[in-house]
Amino acid sequence: MTDRIEAAAAELRPLLQEFILWAPKHAPDSDPELLGSAALWHRLSVRDDVHVWRKGDLRTVLLDRLPKVIEDPDAAADGMVPTLRAYLTFLSTTGRLHRGSDPLATLLAELDALEDDFVAAMEDLIAERDWDDDELDEEDEPGGLGDFEPFAEALAGLPAVRLRPDAELAAAAREVPLIARARDLALWAGADRRRVRRDPPSGGAELAGALAAAGLPRPADGAEVPAEHERELWNLWEHAFDLEFLVADRRGRVTLAEDTADWPFDDDEDVLELWVQGLRSVDYGDPELDDDDLTEALEGLTRGVLVRLLVAGGARRADELRAELAEAAADLDDLGEDAWAAAAERYGDPLAPALDWLAGYGMVERAADGGAEVVRLTPLGVEGVLHLADEAGIEVDARPAFDVMSAAELLEICVDLPDEEADAEFAGWLATRAPERAAKELLDAAAADESNEMVRVQAASMVGSLGEAAVPAWRSVLDEPSLRPYATNCLARLGVPDAPTPGPADVQWMILDMWAISAGLGRSEFVNTLRDVGTVRDLLGLLDSIWKVPHPHLPELLETIADAHPDKRVTKAARRALFKARSAAVTR
């Protein structure tokens, strides 16, 4: 997406620059700074040609796209429509409104028709921003049961949390019952293209139809809907909006999103994006009691379950979890103990609504273990609670599971780890594959980026530890310039018959790799690495020949030597070598 945005922005830039020059004389009240986002999303979401504008494009840009991306709704409410009016006039009067566009009069009339709706959408954003500001003012207040902050230190100290691949997570998300039920309820609401109120149906045949669509029992004729069913319907209705299966306009009327019937989607990324979008639904698992104050005392209970499961390594006995949360509720709120008792009276188990919702969203499993009930995070649950921790600004070390971790991921992770931890990570990864396969994967990953010496040295060290099992892999990279030096060195050390002998160029390549790594550690460390070569005479001799090695970082390394080394003879030799290297590169 980033590449598409950059390409579209580059395409629009000359046109917008011409509008900026045109506007002061012809439309002095327009705001060219506002135009960029409208023109960009017109190009990205509606038309491949920035010079073609149709009546329907304006609705898509103003009411569908801009409310999701606008940064200054105050300025947009005042100036976006007048600025678009000026821009369309500019395109038309300068011959830049191409064939296929609607007439300018039609476009301006549509802008007039949409202006009130756009301003209302901006006012909604302003109201949401003000609400968020009010919430920020309350940040210093003590957190509730769902506050992750008290667990920040414990979460930071956890062993690396292991993640399953997206394909597996998406397959699980497609089976989540609560998403399917929210979809069915949304399809019911939009079945005959009628628009219903933002609140869920509350009586009569409409209520009966909604209950059936949501998978809840219809009440008998004249019978009241049980409170728990009414609450569940309300939560599923809100869940449908969280998932954007249903969309409400500013008048509170509801329409069905175009792709609702397509769930479960085919694309894994789309599936996981929707599932994460619906994570806010975890709060619907909190107990709902007759007394609002008691309900408020247990707010965050469902999130509290999740964070405690993660801190415990992913599983807890239900009775231990129940006791800990009951104590926390009493500690955090004067009404916590009463609220817990009221929830126990209503649900039997105060955790029942939280665990039911989490299980329905695919995040936890409940099972018997030695006579006790155990609650366990699923792979989706781990993914979800990590996302919630990230939203709370808390870092948790999360890495791919060893059996699905690629060699490239392993190398990227280990480069930043202390030696002992990197060794443990490599050992865990190696335990899931044969050493021959491991060696091949590591060297293939290192060969993919010739310019990354850190990964290359890390891979060579790992493969070198595999001994004779790595011989086929070493042989396979003898024609790779960046890995041949390490291959010849290791094959010679293993005494492999017919293996090529390491030559001066091989040794020099490995020296350049070491120099490149040390250059990133600071000037003094780099100079010390140069001194490891030997005396100044030894270094001068090396510079006299190392310029011939086609290492990707050779020029900048020679420049760094010339700048950093205190001996003027070395400075001069490095500059001479740099000149020769550049001349050789031109003739290659």
Residue 226 phi, psi (nearest 5): -55, 145
What does the pLDDT read at residue 141? 45
pTM, two decimal places: 0.71
In terms of Cα–Cα distance, which of 316, 325, 322 is closest to 367?
Answer: 316
CA atoms lying within 13 Å on the CB side of residue 226: 8
Does 139 fall in a domain?
no
Residues 8 and 123 in one domain: yes
Contact 573, 541 (CB under 8 A): no
- Which structural domain, as residue segments, surrounds residue 95? 1-134
pLDDT on residue 4: 64
* 515 shares a domain with 496: no
Rounded Cα gap, residues 395 and 416, in angstroms:
16
Domain match, 170 and 266 both: yes
pLDDT truncated to tens, each residue of the chain (588 aa)?
Answer: 445 666 777 788 888 888 888 888 888 888 888 888 888 888 888 888 889 999 989 998 999 888 888 888 888 888 999 999 999 999 999 999 998 899 999 999 999 999 999 998 888 888 877 655 544 444 444 468 999 999 999 999 999 999 999 999 999 999 999 999 999 999 998 875 455 677 777 777 788 888 999 999 887 776 788 888 889 999 999 999 999 999 887 666 788 899 999 999 999 999 999 999 999 899 999 999 999 999 999 999 999 999 999 999 999 999 999 999 999 999 999 999 999 999 999 999 999 999 999 999 999 999 998 889 999 999 999 999 999 999 999 999 999 999 999 999 999 999 889 999 999 999 999 999 999 999 999 999 999 988 899 999 999 999 999 999 999 999 999 999 999 999 999 999 999 999 999 999 999 999 999 999 998 888 889 999 999 999 999 999 999 999 999 999 999 999 999 999 999 999 999 999 999 999 887 776
313 and 394 fall within a common domain: yes
Q: Is residue 117 part of a domain?
A: yes
Judge if 168 and 245 occupy the same domain.
yes
174 lies in a domain?
yes
Nearest to 70 by CA among 135, 116, 123: 123
Domain contains 59 = yes
Burial class (CB in 10 A: 0-12, 13-18, 19+), 246: buried
Residues 214 and 301 in one domain: no
Domain boundary among 263, 281, 299: 281
Instruction: Tell me if 226 is assigned to some domain.
Output: yes
* Residue 357 falls inside a structural domain: yes
Q: What is the pLDDT of residue 522?
A: 86
Within-domain flag for 149: no
| 539 shares a domain with 526 | yes
Shortest CA distance to 41 belongs to which of 12, 3, 19, 15? 12
Say whether both 479 and 523 belong to one domain.
no
**Shared domain check, 540 and 412:** no
- Asked, for residue 79, whether it belongs to a domain, the answer is yes
DSSP 3-state of 480: coil
128 and 165 share one domain: no
The total of structural domains in the chain comes to 5
Last residue of a domain, one of 255, 281, 307: 281
What is the Cα Rg of the chain in Å?
A: 32
> Does residue 487 sit in the same domain as residue 519?
no
Question: Same domain, yes or no, for 379 and 453?
Answer: no
